[in-house]
Amino acid sequence: MSIRQKIKPCLWFDDQAEDAANFYVSVFKNSSVGKVSLYTNEGFEIHGKKAGSVMTVEFTLDGQPFTALNGGPLFEFNEAISLQVICETQEEIDYFWENFTEEGEEVQCGWVKDKFGLSWQIVPAVLSDLTSDPQRSERVMKALLKMKKLDIEALKNA
C-alpha cells in the first residue's frame, strides 16, 4: 500500500504547463511526467480553453509530486512563493543555476527565475548551519547579500 503525498503544489501557467513539466523533469534526476488531463467542451464559458488542449499535467521532481495547470493569463508567478533546491556541492549549485538561468534570469542571494517566471532558491545545504551559528551568522549574511549565485567556500570562509 503506497502513501500519497499529503501536500502537492499546483503551478498555474497560461498555456505552458506541459512545456514547463517537461523542462523541470529534464533538470531534476529521478523525475517523470505522469497523467495529462485535457479540457473538454464542458465549462468552456468559464475556462475558455479549446476542447482537447492540455488542462493539467502531473509530474514528479525527485520524489516530490506537482501539478501544472493551464489556467490562462489571469495569474502570474511572483516572488511571494519560491521553490528551494537544497544542494550538497558547488557543482550541484552550478548545475541548477545554469539550467534555470539559461532562458531565465539571475536575481540575488541564490534566487533565480526560470523561463516560465517561477522563482527558485538554489541553496547550499550547509547554509542553515552557517546562519544558525550566532558567531558566524552576521559575517555569512554580509557575504551572501553580495552574491547572486551562492558560493559555498566563500560562505564557509566568512
The predicted-structure confidence for 58-100, as pLDDT tens digits, reads as follows 999 999 999 999 999 999 999 999 999 999 999 999 999 999 9
- Mean pLDDT in the chain? 95
Regarding whether 88 and 62 lie in a shared domain, the answer is no
Task: Provide, rounded to the nearest whole percent, the portion of the chain with pLDDT above 90.
Answer: 90
Write the burial class of residue 107 (CB in 10 Å: 0-12 exposed, 13-18 middle, 19+ buried). middle
pLDDT at 2: 59
pLDDT at 33 over 80: yes
HEC states along the chain?
Answer: CCCCCCCCCEEEECCCHHHHHHHHHHHCCCCEEEEEEECCCCCHHHHCCCCCCEEEEEEEECCEEEEEEECCCCCCCCCCCEEEEEECCHHHHHHHHHHHHCCCEECCCCEEECCCCCEEEEEECCHHHHHHCCCCHHHHHHHHCCCCCCCHHHHHHC
Examine residue 86 and state whether it is found in any structural domain, yes or no.
yes
Regarding whether 88 and 145 lie in a shared domain, the answer is yes
CA distance 63 to 3: 12
Write the burial class of residue 120 (CB in 10 Å: 0-12 exposed, 13-18 middle, 19+ buried). buried
pLDDT at 1 over 80: no
Regarding whether 109 and 58 lie in a shared domain, the answer is no
**For 122-131, what is the mean pLDDT?**
96
Lowest mean pLDDT among 34-38, 77-81, 131-135, 150-154: 131-135
Query: Which residues have CB under 8 Å from 111's CB, separation 6+?
Result: 79, 82, 119, 120, 121, 122
Asked if 111 and 120 count as a contact pair (C-beta separation under 8 A), the reply is: yes
Q: What are phi and psi of 142, to 5 degrees?
A: -60, -45
At 155, is the pLDDT very low, low, confident or very high (cuts 50, 70, 90)?
very high
pLDDT at 45 over 70: yes
pLDDT at 47 over 90: no
Regarding whether 86 and 25 lie in a shared domain, the answer is no
One-letter amino acid of 110 = G
At 3, is the pLDDT very low, low, confident or very high (cuts 50, 70, 90)?
low
Q: Please give the tally of structural domains in the chain.
A: 2
pLDDT at 49 over 80: yes
Task: Provide, rounded to the nearest whole percent, the portion of the chain with pLDDT above 70.
Answer: 98
Residue numbers of the domain that contains 20: 10-70
**For 135-148, what is the mean pLDDT?**
95
Domain finish residue from 36, 70, 104: 70
pLDDT at 4: 74
Regarding whether 107 and 140 lie in a shared domain, the answer is yes
